[in-house]
Amino acid sequence: MTTFVELNGRSLTISDIGRIAIDGAQVRVSVEAEEKVTRAHQVLLELAAEGQPIYGLNRGVGVNKDRTIEPDFLEKYNRNLIRSHSSGVEPFATHDEVRAIMAVRLNTLLTGGAGVRLELVRTYADFLNHRIHPRIPLRGSIGAADIGLLSHIGLAMIGEGEVDYGGQRMEAAKALALAGLPKLALGPKEGLAIVSANALSAGIGALALHECRKLLETADLVYALSLESIQGCRSPLDESLFRVRPFEGATESARTVRGYLEGSSPQEASGGEKIQDPLSFRSACHVHGAARDALAYAERLMTIQMNSPDDNPCLLVDERRIVPSSNFDVTAWTLAFEMLGLSLSHVSKLSCHRSIKLGNPAFTGLTRFLTPDPDRAIGLGTLQKTVVSLDAEVRHLSAPVGPDHYSISGDMEDHASHAPYVVRKTGEIIDRMYYIFGVEAMHAAQAIDLRANANLGRGTRAAYAQIRGTVAFLSEDRPLTEDIAAMNRLLRGKIWIPEEETERSADGK
Amino acid sequence: MTTFVELNGRSLTISDIGRIAIDGAQVRVSVEAEEKVTRAHQVLLELAAEGQPIYGLNRGVGVNKDRTIEPDFLEKYNRNLIRSHSSGVEPFATHDEVRAIMAVRLNTLLTGGAGVRLELVRTYADFLNHRIHPRIPLRGSIGAADIGLLSHIGLAMIGEGEVDYGGQRMEAAKALALAGLPKLALGPKEGLAIVSANALSAGIGALALHECRKLLETADLVYALSLESIQGCRSPLDESLFRVRPFEGATESARTVRGYLEGSSPQEASGGEKIQDPLSFRSACHVHGAARDALAYAERLMTIQMNSPDDNPCLLVDERRIVPSSNFDVTAWTLAFEMLGLSLSHVSKLSCHRSIKLGNPAFTGLTRFLTPDPDRAIGLGTLQKTVVSLDAEVRHLSAPVGPDHYSISGDMEDHASHAPYVVRKTGEIIDRMYYIFGVEAMHAAQAIDLRANANLGRGTRAAYAQIRGTVAFLSEDRPLTEDIAAMNRLLRGKIWIPEEETERSADGK
Amino acid sequence: MTTFVELNGRSLTISDIGRIAIDGAQVRVSVEAEEKVTRAHQVLLELAAEGQPIYGLNRGVGVNKDRTIEPDFLEKYNRNLIRSHSSGVEPFATHDEVRAIMAVRLNTLLTGGAGVRLELVRTYADFLNHRIHPRIPLRGSIGAADIGLLSHIGLAMIGEGEVDYGGQRMEAAKALALAGLPKLALGPKEGLAIVSANALSAGIGALALHECRKLLETADLVYALSLESIQGCRSPLDESLFRVRPFEGATESARTVRGYLEGSSPQEASGGEKIQDPLSFRSACHVHGAARDALAYAERLMTIQMNSPDDNPCLLVDERRIVPSSNFDVTAWTLAFEMLGLSLSHVSKLSCHRSIKLGNPAFTGLTRFLTPDPDRAIGLGTLQKTVVSLDAEVRHLSAPVGPDHYSISGDMEDHASHAPYVVRKTGEIIDRMYYIFGVEAMHAAQAIDLRANANLGRGTRAAYAQIRGTVAFLSEDRPLTEDIAAMNRLLRGKIWIPEEETERSADGK
Amino acid sequence: MTTFVELNGRSLTISDIGRIAIDGAQVRVSVEAEEKVTRAHQVLLELAAEGQPIYGLNRGVGVNKDRTIEPDFLEKYNRNLIRSHSSGVEPFATHDEVRAIMAVRLNTLLTGGAGVRLELVRTYADFLNHRIHPRIPLRGSIGAADIGLLSHIGLAMIGEGEVDYGGQRMEAAKALALAGLPKLALGPKEGLAIVSANALSAGIGALALHECRKLLETADLVYALSLESIQGCRSPLDESLFRVRPFEGATESARTVRGYLEGSSPQEASGGEKIQDPLSFRSACHVHGAARDALAYAERLMTIQMNSPDDNPCLLVDERRIVPSSNFDVTAWTLAFEMLGLSLSHVSKLSCHRSIKLGNPAFTGLTRFLTPDPDRAIGLGTLQKTVVSLDAEVRHLSAPVGPDHYSISGDMEDHASHAPYVVRKTGEIIDRMYYIFGVEAMHAAQAIDLRANANLGRGTRAAYAQIRGTVAFLSEDRPLTEDIAAMNRLLRGKIWIPEEETERSADGK
């Protein structure tokens, strides 16, 4: 893995966001992109000099759009714009989130659509590379540009507000001094360029997509283990079925699961009579596949978002025009997140049903609730309430935020996507699902132990080993709260899924 | 337009469904497909002869899957299966819906995945071509195959139950006699083949997608007219903006709107000062585009559905295998419909906001509520409640049905997509939106009349003419209930959108 | 039952609405109430003569509130108000609904809050008693007065628009002539008085509450039958339990169920070992009770609504004042309907779970899916999909419409309750639940037949007899679609619940 | 305020919970209640001695209900039950929440329904009075008894698990030693008594209701200030209007607001022409009243809950019987919380609309967005996004969790209320609304300052002073993020509402 990511305004990926935000990679701006930024700024100045009215440069923003900004007021105007728009509500972004947000805005500025100076662009890179992380509140945007929140980045750049730096929360001015960076003096239209973007939604959204792909791989892996634990029928995973009915996500999920099972002997062959399992086992790859389809759709749209200008007005450098736009509209991919959340709710529920089935002797041939001792121990029965209650939260969170909005800003803003909340709740769904799959994994491992003669596959064997390295076989009743927490930590970790699998599927779409 | 559609199991489109279902086209099965069906049936018989257990052929279905069906019981078994599964609830499918359902099932049978006799396949075609339309209740399926509903088609084929024929509701047996068709004697696995498919959901879903595409063209057209009626800013429609930020749906919507406006002089040029309109005008193509993106996603998945076997078990002819499958799972495209519904709710709301804005002198420069006489007439003000109340219904309907399901059928069916209800409510959303756009069109036409100097575009001029051919200028207050109904009829009609546009976009995706 | 209901503006009940609307009772206005109306009108005229500005009398309505209405324009103004506000969307109200709507508005006019002439009041009574039923569209109100819809009553009164009369749809003028009634000439403020009320929401809402009480009695009765069919444990119904934990609805439900079971021998006594049944049996009275609590809450608020003026401005006769008000706000009881809908969704789901359990030998000791012949018949298994799919509709409908609303009418109306849609969807929930309980009743009766030694209670015996008079024992598989429909008709009928029970609980709250 | 609350199992109030949980009051058990507990335990032992099968005493729990517990296994059985049911998920309860939970369970034990020893009862009191607060995870219960969570209290009592004590998190055993308390040895049925209760849901729910009443008083007060800031029409608050239309909550809200306004001169009298304000002003008391009605309904049911046994089986002391029950069902009041949440969403939205209106010169006669300097400052415009985005969260949270549940615990638990999640999200709604009202208060104070000639009422004057003691007049643009946070802290504090008002309304219901 490289220690830096080169940005050019055209090819930023979800994985790149993961590298910058989570792995802490540095950023570099490509030479070509720097040249484009410089050229764009030159064009912007020329257009303004020709007397064109430009929103946010020589005209006010929002309902003040009909107000003229005098040149001598320009710098104060931009500073004032940053200050006056800083209006957010806790919680504040994590380090990972701050980095994702800034990386996205940096990359979209490289398209030249804003027309800002190269100096501003470099300030984003400096902040990322010095790990100066502005304190950004996460609430206060309706998702038609994250204005009131992104302004806190601007505050920090001009030496106001607060940042996290070197493990400490401090005044932005102090951090700049410590890092040897100057306070930024804002150029024309730069106040607007900093605040008028969807980088908060897009950055946090990209992180959620990154995490979601890993979750779906976990889902496939835990399902594979559960399937082995009941010696379930593998026919529905048959490659040919997906050749004749080629839904992409399902095809991918089934291929992944077959990979995990590789090397395991399909025990059901012996019996010969067991034709079908419950749908939570039989249809798992189709349902996981539906989520993969939704994810792929969201990833595709988000990739466009991260590599396009969302500026209004938008500078068209080659055409030497600056055009009022609605580039700030992010309804399309916000809806993709809503669908993704709904699809995850299906995935979540299926896992719960499998945990429940794993406690049912009629389906497993094992003990009730997988107890090691029917006379003296309850087994895993109480975990059913755990997952079912979390699944209710998933279901509730997956309810769409919807188009509901009422007109604000002098009746000008009569539409909203609520993107920031939608991406945030997608993350919350994922959080809960790791717990749910952790509990399913506890069931599967317990069933495998009780069955004793397990002959696991390449992937499932590795998974089983990690699970048993984390929580012990339930040999008598014990409090399970800590086991649940430990399994959650295991599954959220990076090394949980067998190496070759993660590599194979990383950005595999 | 051809008077028949040839089916081959591989290339059925949404438009084809429109032709068969709405336009009443006949169907033909391609020679190649007939051969495939024949070959598949032969393979099935051979596999059974080899003693393989086959679900629905020599094994029971559902929780009875472990029961053996004796050969001499076979025909009775299949008839019994049809009868025993006939359990639905009104309302009954319309003629259009029956045709869409049967066409979809006919086409998926042509994949050979069911292994039925050619005779059964031809019976579907005969029913469609003789317009014998079984009475199919629409409720009673959870969307993992529409078993209890599709069985009513089987009932009619064996001469039981009721059909609509020649404009009359009658006993199926009588209709068969009148049409000169025999009662079908069911062959092996044919009971299962008839009932175990998602053709009801898919057929009605395909019709909804067909209608939705037309609705979105109406949305673009009415919006274009509203934009002209306020002499709104066209910059956000600029082609270059969509080149640098290439979301497909938005690009398509903006291109369509620009086409409708072609030939109209952009009056705002004169003023020069008006930089921005409210978002309901400015962002319309982005929001319509989000719906177009969602629609394209749904169309893509539905097209796979209509051209793939959803049989369980699924016969793999070339491999001479019959494999237990979860081909009946339709979660992926059901979720696409949920997203589509949510996107339509955004589109709906934007139209309402435009109607409201058109009644506001601050945005139009015209009279309050577009009254022709501020002293004596209220104008169109009361229509705001009309659309807002319908929009609340759209919003409510767009709430997802969700993954909520509890285990049935002996605890085997612990997952459901609820596809039939989801596609049905999509249709209900569309119904309401035609009313909403009808009211917006009334506003736009009234504003254009009040402005007097309209210089409309190619598409908007034609639209205006049709509106005014339907409802008169409001010269004094009058009851509007009938006007609303008339506008709804106009917009639902086929000839409303300028010819060249519909051709251009039909199946253009 | 009396053939007329006397109205006095103070004591109208939900049951009265049932009598007028469903049973077709006539109405009489009490002498006292007529005097109050006359006195109120006199006060109104005096206040106007004193020069007070009165909204809707000498001032415009809505955003036109600052416009003065000249006296010579008064009659035309009122007629115009009726016409201009007539803007609704199909479907149209049924006869029952029209009667409920008009009865409610008639009664609230008797409070004197509107100040209209006695003549107008009598016109409502005449329409009800001559069964002249205006065609009222049901959609187009946001629930802050049902203005655009109620205006259709006014249209009919002045001899415009359409009505149903003598079994025919006809011009209002013709019906008035046939009935020997004059066309109404509108007096001061009468246009407003006719349209500015929530009578449509309240009337239809009252009908829904009326129907809901009957549904909950059906729920108790069917549950009682199911409990007997599994020889279930009756301990949770023990009267003393509700004495120490006195939730009213649960107490009432348990008492009702115990009544139905009276005379039946509690078979479980013999075994002695069976301590607990599944919650769908054990907690039924608590869940039915939660719905009864919600219903009682809704009934209480609705009764206030139907006996209070919802006029704005509101005439305070005794104080000789007319005061601008927000009496049109119905948020409180609209929310009660939302809660009621949610509670019904719980009730619905419990019934489905019982049907499923009745098909499970582990709980019944009977055959799988209550088949009469395990080798040859599937039994009632397919009905599980029927009820589960309807229950999904119930769940979806029970989602609240919510506070979502955007500002209309010149930014004056920035709140809405959406009462008309909420009450309508409550009715749709009830519709579906009768099907669901019909299917449960089919299961219970089948189980009782299979058990053979049934010794039913007073109420359950009567219920069983009616069920078996409607659908026969399932002795071999047959199509069930018509059985489902027949059971629905039975349960919706009036005589289904044992006489003494309905009498006991009618208006028992 | 007393420093302790006496508990007797019959009269615990919401306010008492506030005193114990938030104010840290100690608890005392009444002599009469101690006697009842002692008597109940004696009866339980006698019944067991007579050989009656008792769930949780000499029979297993849940699906193990048919297992016999041998006497010599009894203590181990109870300890094992506590351990095996400890399965929850973070976050952990706050101190306030732990106290509320334990107080509720203590009080319900005093009803004698559990039959436990006095020693166990006293242990609850000891924990509360020594402030030994067990670490209780908040997630893992579906709301049919909070088994997996309450077991953590049992763990601490027997000296296992963790607690917070003296400001530190530590092993329970250590805290007991430090406090000089013994480890509890569990008696018969005490494992079940500790875990099988809804005390977690009820305790946290009671806290939410406590907080909600304060919120609604804040809502009235901020609304009153806003009304004064626009010199709004007070007619809709007229006492007589609520006499003729006596909805309780609205009546109470209007009376409260009139109290706050007392002493202020109603300026609108002068103008005489302004008849109506937007509904967000006009209907505020009706909408706040709808929430007050919902709150009163929830309080009434919760009070029953907190003073009744929710044990299963339930000991009926006087009758010397122990009866299997469904006392653990809490559907009725869980639905009340859902309605309450929906009502709060209406209240929230109205506040947002008022903030928006306060920025609109057409309604205030003041500057755009209440800017102090239209040429140089944007004013409060950006706060519109702040509140609208939070309101979207409120709306989303107010979506009901619903009846969705699938059968667990060996298919025995096929119903769930999801009470713990429902009460928790009610608290989250309240959290957001304090921010929203804080922003409205900022608007109102700014408007009052700009208007300059304010003549405030008794309550509003005090409120204004506190607001201005917290955030300064906006004399030029500044970042508002900290102001928002400060206002939130102010409103959440206890002394914000004028003394006499809080006293008057405390438990005034």
Q: Which residues in chain C are closer than 8 Å to A411, comparing Cβ atoms?
A: 411
Interface subset of C 152-171, CB within 8 angstroms of D: none
Contact B404/C at CB under 8 A = yes
Task: Give me the pLDDT at residue D53, please.
Answer: 80
Using alpha carbons only, give the angle B354, B355, B359 rounded to the nearest 5 degrees. Answer: 110
Domains of chain A: 4-197 (1.10.275.10), 205-505 (1.20.200.10)
Q: What percent of chain D has pLDDT over 70?
A: 94
The predicted structure's pLDDT at residue C454: 77
Distance between B456 CA and the closest CA of chain C, angstroms = 28
Percent of chain C whose pLDDT exceeds 90: 84
Q: Contact C323/D235, CB-based, under 8 Å?
A: yes
Inter-chain contact D283–C345, Cβ cutoff 8 Å? no
Cα torsion B294, B295, B297, B302 to 10°: value is 140
The confidence score (pLDDT) of residue B83 equals 95
- Taking residues A123-146, what's their average pLDDT? 97
Q: Which residue has the higher pLDDT, A411 or D344?
A: D344
Taking CA–CA distances from C405, the nearest residue in chain D reads D349
CB D418 within 8 A of CB D142: yes
Smallest CA-to-CA distance from A344 within A269, A428, A279 is with A428
Residue with tokens 């109506």: D276
Residue B63's pLDDT is 58
Of D338 and A67, the structure prediction assigns the larger pLDDT to D338
Say if residues B328 and B144 touch (Cβ distance below 8 Å).
yes
User: Considering only B214-218, B332-336, C36-40, C64-68, which range has the smallest mean pLDDT?
Assistant: C64-68
pLDDT in tens, chain B (509 residues): 458 999 999 999 999 999 999 999 999 999 999 999 999 999 999 998 898 888 777 777 665 666 677 767 778 889 999 999 999 999 999 999 999 999 999 999 999 999 999 999 999 999 999 999 999 999 999 999 999 999 999 999 999 999 999 999 999 999 999 999 999 999 989 999 999 999 999 999 999 999 999 999 999 999 999 999 999 999 999 999 999 999 999 999 999 999 999 999 765 444 444 568 999 999 999 999 999 999 999 999 999 999 999 999 999 999 999 999 999 999 999 999 999 999 999 999 999 999 999 999 999 999 999 999 998 888 999 999 999 999 999 999 999 998 888 898 999 999 999 999 999 999 999 999 999 999 999 999 999 999 987 789 999 999 999 999 999 999 999 999 999 999 999 999 977 787 655 444 444 33
Give the residue from A210, A259, A219, A290 showing the smallest Cα distance to A501: A259
Per-residue pLDDT, C190: 94
Residue type, B80: N
For D399, the 3-state DSSP assignment is: coil
Residue A275 clears pLDDT 70, i.e. is over it: no
Contacts of B304 in chain A (CB under 8 A): 245-247
Look at the block and give the residue holding tokens 């010169």. D361
Give the gap in angstroms from C-alpha B265 to the nearest C-alpha of chain C: 30
A147 part of contact set with chain D, CB < 8 Å: yes
pLDDT for res C222: 98
**What does the pLDDT read at residue B506?**
43
Report the chain D residue with the minimal C-alpha distance to residue A419: D389
* Residue contact B404–D407, C-beta within 8 A: no
**Residue D273: pLDDT band with limits 50, 70, 90:** very low
Q: Is B137 helix (H, G, I), strand (E, B) or coil?
A: strand
Q: Which of A189-203, A273-287, B62-76, D121-135 has the lowest mean pLDDT?
A: B62-76
Distance from CA of A34 to the nearest CA of C (A): 45
Element (H, E) at B260: helix B248-261
Indicate whether A271 pLDDT > 90.
Answer: no
CA of D401: which chain B residue's CA is closest? B404
Angstrom distance (rounded) from CA C193 to CA C116? 7
Helices A199-229, A458-468: crossing angle, 10 deg rounding: 100
| CA nearest neighbour of B281 among B216, B226, B242, B241 | B226
C404 touches chain A (CB under 8 A): yes
C409 interfaces chain A, CB cutoff of 8 Å: no
D30 φ/ψ angles, rounded to the nearest 5 degrees = -70, 155
Asked if B404's CB is within 8 angstroms of D404's CB, the reply is yes
Half-sphere exposure of C306 (CA within 13 A, CB side): 29
The CA distance from C74 to D375, in Å, is: 47
- Looking at residue A322, its pLDDT comes to 94
Q: Which residue has 């409502």 as its token pair?
A: C124
Confidence of residue D328 (pLDDT cuts 50, 70, 90): very high
Q: Average of pLDDT values for C184-191?
A: 93
pLDDT band of residue D220 (cuts 50, 70, 90) is very high
What distance lies between CA C425 and its chain's CA centroid?
A: 10
Q: How far is C100 from chain B (nearest CA, A)?
A: 21
Interface membership of A404 toward B (CB under 8 Å) = yes
Instruction: Compute the distance between CA of residue C338 and CA of residue C177 in angstroms, rounded to an integer.
Output: 43
Cβ distance of D84 and A478 shorter than 8 Å: yes
Give me the pLDDT at residue A345, please: 98
Q: Is the peptide bond before A134 cis (omega within 30 degrees of 0)?
A: no
Tell me if B202 sits within 8 A of B302, measured CB to CB: yes
C-chain residue closest to A405, CA distance: C406
* Chain-centroid distance, C-alpha C390: 20
Q: Does pLDDT of C356 surpass 90? A: yes
Contacts across the A-C interface (CB distance below 8 Å): 12
The verdict on D407 touching B (C-beta cutoff 8 Å) is yes
CA distance C389 to chain D (A): 13
* B168: β partners: B165
Q: Which of B54, B68, B244 to mutate to test the interface with A (most CBs of A within 10 A)?
A: B244
The reply to whether C402 touches chain A by the CB within 8 Å rule is yes
Chain B stretch 281-310, residues whose beta carbon is closer than 8 A to a beta carbon of chain A = 282-283, 285-287, 289-290, 293-294, 297, 301, 304, 308-310
Structural contact between residues D162 and D156, judged by C-beta atoms closer than 8 angstroms: yes
Rounded Cα distance between B264 and A228, Å, is 67
